[in-house]
């Protein structure tokens, strides 16, 4: 006696060529690119302000990480320009931009922690942006099925 079996429909997950991750992470990757661009532009503005006038920023109390405000200005300016380039690379789906974005967001978090005495609220906002960018770039999937 032959038992006839009907083919089981394949699950939607098996039809995908790659796992896209959660929708939050996928949308978060695009948002991370936007945030890197915005944080880069804000870094350029912070840098120009620090370089142009030493008395734009005032330090709150005594702090271990004392740098001249002009030095901080150059640090923020250079990091801001690099963040803009990496954010643009993320929009193009470049894998190097993904890895570089994680590293630079981590560096940005540390530098903004050290920048806390000069602009506490702005530094905390930049730290939060950096942490979100790290999360989004680490959990989102790379666009492997791009067409040229």
Q: What is the pLDDT of residues 1-16, one digit of tens each?
A: 566 655 555 544 444 4
Asked if residue 83 lies in contact with residue 34, where contact means CB atoms within 8 angstroms, the answer is no
**pLDDT on residue 30:** 85
**pLDDT on residue 82:** 95
pLDDT digits (tens, 9 = 90+) for 55-111: 656 555 666 666 777 888 899 999 999 999 999 999 888 888 999 999 999 999 999
Asked if residue 71 lies in contact with residue 128, where contact means CB atoms within 8 angstroms, the answer is no
Residue 119 has pLDDT above 60, yes or no: yes
Which is higher by pLDDT, 18 or 67? Answer: 67
Residues in the chain: 148
DSSP string covering 74-129, please?
HHHHHHHHHHHHHHHHHHTT-HHHHHHHHHHHHHHHHHHHHTTTT-HHHHHHHHHH
Residue 18 has pLDDT above 60, yes or no: no
Give the chain's mean pLDDT. Answer: 77
Among residues 9, 110, 119, 147, which one has the least CA distance to residue 58? 119
Among residues 42, 56, 53, which one has the least CA distance to residue 127? 42
Q: pTM for the full model?
A: 0.71
Average pLDDT over residues 32-47: 90
**pLDDT on residue 103:** 95
Rounded Cα distance between 141 and 36, Å, is: 17
3-state DSSP percent of the chain in helix, strand and coil, to 5: 65, 0, 35
**pLDDT on residue 127:** 92
């Amino acid at each position: 006696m032959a038992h006839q079996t009907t083919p089981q429909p394949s699950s939607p997950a098996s039809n995908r060529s790659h796992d896209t991750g959660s929708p939050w992470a996928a949308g978060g990757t695009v948002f991370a690119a936007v945030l890197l661009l915005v944080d880069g532009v804000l870094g350029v503005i912070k840098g120009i302000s620090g370089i142009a006038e030493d008395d734009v920023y005032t330090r709150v109390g005594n702090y271990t990480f004392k740098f001249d405000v002009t030095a901080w200005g150059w640090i923020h300016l250079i990091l801001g320009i690099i963040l803009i380039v990496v954010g643009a690379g993320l929009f193009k789906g470049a894998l190097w931009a993904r890895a570089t974005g994680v590293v630079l967001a981590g560096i940005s978090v540390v530098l903004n922690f050290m920048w806390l005495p000069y602009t506490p609220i702005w530094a905390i906002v930049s730290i939060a942006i950096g942490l979100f960018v790290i999360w989004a770039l680490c959990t989102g999937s790379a666009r492997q099925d791009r067409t040229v």
